[in-house]
Chains A and B, each alone.
Chain A
Amino acid sequence: MFQSLQQRRWLLVCLWVLIVAAIVAAPAILPVFRLNLLGRFLSLAIVALGIDLIWGFTGLLSLGQGIFFALGGYAAAMYLQLSNAGDLPNGIPEFFGLYGVKELPFFWHPFASPWFTLVAIWLIPGVLAGVLGGLVFRNRIKGVYFSILTQAALLVFYNFFNGQQKLINGTNGLQTPATKLFGQYVGSDLMQRWFFWVTAVVVILIWALLRWVVRGRFGDVLIAIRDDEPRLRFAGYNPTLFKTLVFGLAGALAGIGGALYTVQSGSASPQFMEVPMSIDMVIWVAVGGRGTLVGAILGAVVINFAKSLVSEALPESWLFIQGGLFILVVTALPEGVIGWFRGEGPGNWLNRLGYCLNILGNWLIRWGNALIRQSTAFPWLNSLGINTLGNWLIGWGHALNSVGIVRRIGTYPRLELEGQVEVQP
């Protein structure tokens, strides 16, 4: 058990070294176009981390994370629009002119402050998620009803944002590339490189934060909520409070992801709140591995990279590939890819491999024996080297058998290896 733990730790360390090396090397290797894509996908990974926290650990499947993602994005875009509006007519963002709006709507004013915006990016979606979640959880709505409610909320927000031309430019959204930050255009290569760095650091910081959250007793309570919430109440815990907190935290993370995504993709628009987008977010986590933080990050980054590569080569085919991937994960790897590696997956495969080797080995031995019998019955066959061939087959058969047995022993339950005795209470 100790050994296998050590092995896994080494695997994890290697994985992390690879990830950090990839992030550090990326700006040097990747053209700015790809680097910008990686930066966007890393911001989506932040959203995925939040979904992993509420779904993978706490068992709350939210199909409405797009709401919080969009709110974070809009907050960032509003600040950028305002900070560049000084030299424009009326001193307000250009799009207002299209609708004849002369005065800035009241809720835009605070976003002139960078500090307010930095806080609003995560606080507004976080508090909204906490309030919405708290109302739902108080009434003990869970499971599929919770998922349906979140999706309904998503549609409400989507339609509302789409219709508000005079407040937030409706369906067109707010564009950022032509705005300036620190005297540079947000869409410039230099700024995009910086955004990539910021995103990479934020992903790692949030990963570390969530790891701390889920590793301790707080995380144990989350898992207990997922497995048997009513039982937890009788142990004196209030699941509503915990669920509200983590749902708020996931909302805040979605907001941070949305803000970073917006500055790298160039616009915040109601499309962030389309239904497929929020479902995609869930799929990243499912494929990467529910309940494994690294799985959520890898799922978001790898699937999105695959999506952009496949879409370049074979447009139209991505939806089929994504659907197939999801079906494959649901049926064959219910714990996701990383979950499969951490669980019994590799052991089971080694076990099966060993089993096949054993069958092959026994089969070779049988054939070898048969050949030797034939060669003793018909001495003339001997001269053809049949006897040697038989011995050779038997030798290989035994070798395969040994490998197979070693493979299988390596995967036996730990109990036998440690020589523990079954204890009865």
Chain B
Amino acid sequence: MRSALLELRQITVSFDGFLALRDLNLSLQPGELRAVIGPNGAGKTTFLDVITGKTAPTDGDVVFKGRSLLGRPEHRIARLGIGRKFQSPRVFEKLSVQENLALAVSRPKQPWSLLFQRLTAGQRDQVHHLMSIVNLQNRADWAAGSLSHGQKQWLEIAMLVGQDPDLLLVDEPVAGLTDEETDLTADLLKSLAGDHTVLVIEHDMEFIRRLESPVTVLHQGHVLCEGTMDQVQADPRVIEVYLGTSEEENG
């Protein structure tokens, strides 16, 4: 077995005594596409916050490419090769589509190089290529804030790809998209896997099914089970947490 790209070891996150995550273990192999599902409050977003450095875990370790991520600021984790797409699309609304993507592909991301260097021809080509993938060529000079919800989702995914991370963390990429857009997004994510490692968090079961990927179910900050979509859906524990626990068990 190859060494894992990302490994979460016994992560516990406590917010004033409330355990958002408890003893969470998860590992991702390079090139893998993985879906994470779970009912509301299962800790899905906290789990991404821990990986990207936004929240420090109370206990446990996050290891990426053999290095611990604990204590590193967000921008350094991002530069190590972890990109994140947020639940609601977060693009820089006052900047144009092209400028948004240019910021994503710029390298190095230091003030002096941004001041004194122009985008290289290769980077400009990459920006155009990304715009053509997400069908925003005609919108190159539009302010990102004037795009539709679906276009913003796609722009953010394009920015993520432009960052060229090894690991893409994608939080609810199809929230608020039409069926057709959802299908296109699934194809896009599938095509990204292989070169990149992709972790998708989603509520939409049809979308998860289309990804044809292993599924991890989170429940109350813990991994409930892992398997294919069919295995997971047949698991009585999963049915239980989705349909609600009985009173006695909640105690």
- Residues of A bordering B, CB below 8 Å: 213, 216-218, 220-221, 223-224, 226-228, 230-239, 241-242, 245, 420, 423-425
Contact = CB atoms under 8 A, between A and B. Distances in A.
A223 B153 CA distance: 20
A220 B111 contact: no
B197 to A, nearest CB: 17
A417 B230 CA distance: 51
A218 B117 CA distance: 10
Nearest to A238: B75
B136 interface: yes
Given A233-B74, A236-B163, A242-B111, A217 B106 contact: yes
B134 interface: yes
A235 B103 contact: yes
Contact of B103 (A224, A420, A423, A424): A224
Nearest to B98: A220
A236 B53 CA distance: 12
Contact of B163 (A218, A235, A245): A235
A228 B88 CA distance: 13
A425 B151 contact: yes
Contact of B111 (A218, A227, A234, A236): A218
Contacts, number: 95
Contacts of B114: 216-218, 221
B181 A424 contact: yes
B94 interface: yes
Contacts of B215: none
A221 B99 CA distance: 10
A223 B100 CA distance: 11
Contacts of B199: none
30 contacts: A216-B118, A217-B99, A217-B102, A218-B114, A220-B95, A220-B102, A221-B103, A221-B114, A223-B94, A226-B94, A227-B93, A227-B94, A231-B86, A233-B73, A233-B74, A233-B78, A234-B74, A234-B78, A234-B84, A235-B103, A235-B104, A235-B159, A236-B163, A237-B75, A237-B103, A237-B109, A239-B75, A420-B138, A424-B181, A425-B151
B172 to A, nearest CB: 16
Contacts of A236: 75, 78-79, 109, 163
B99 A220 contact: yes
A305 B41 CA distance: 59
Given A423-B138, A425-B150, 14 more contacts: A217-B102, A218-B115, A220-B99, A220-B102, A221-B103, A223-B95, A232-B92, A236-B78, A238-B109, A241-B110, A424-B135, A425-B153, A425-B154, A425-B181
A4 to B, nearest CB: 13
A223 B181 CA distance: 30
B184 interface: yes
A231 B163 CA distance: 13
Contacts of A241: 110-111
A242 B103 CA distance: 14
Contacts of A221: 103, 111, 114
Contacts of A242: 111
B90 interface: yes
Contact of A213 (B74, B99, B115): B115
A213 B112 CA distance: 11
A223 B143 CA distance: 12
Interface string B121-156: 000000000000011101100000000101101100
Interface string B191-211: 000000000000000000000
A241 B76 CA distance: 13
B40 to A, nearest CB: 23
B92 A234 contact: no
Interface in B159-190: 159, 163, 178, 180-181, 184
A424 B150 contact: yes
A28 B78 CA distance: 59
A220 B93 CA distance: 11
A246 to B, nearest CB: 9
Contacts of B216: none
B56 to A, nearest CB: 14
Contacts of B12: none
B99 A425 contact: no
Given A217-B106, A423-B138, A223 B150 contact: no
Given A235-B103, A423-B138, A228 B111 contact: no
A245 B111 contact: yes
A224 B125 CA distance: 23
A217 B117 CA distance: 9
A242 B138 CA distance: 31
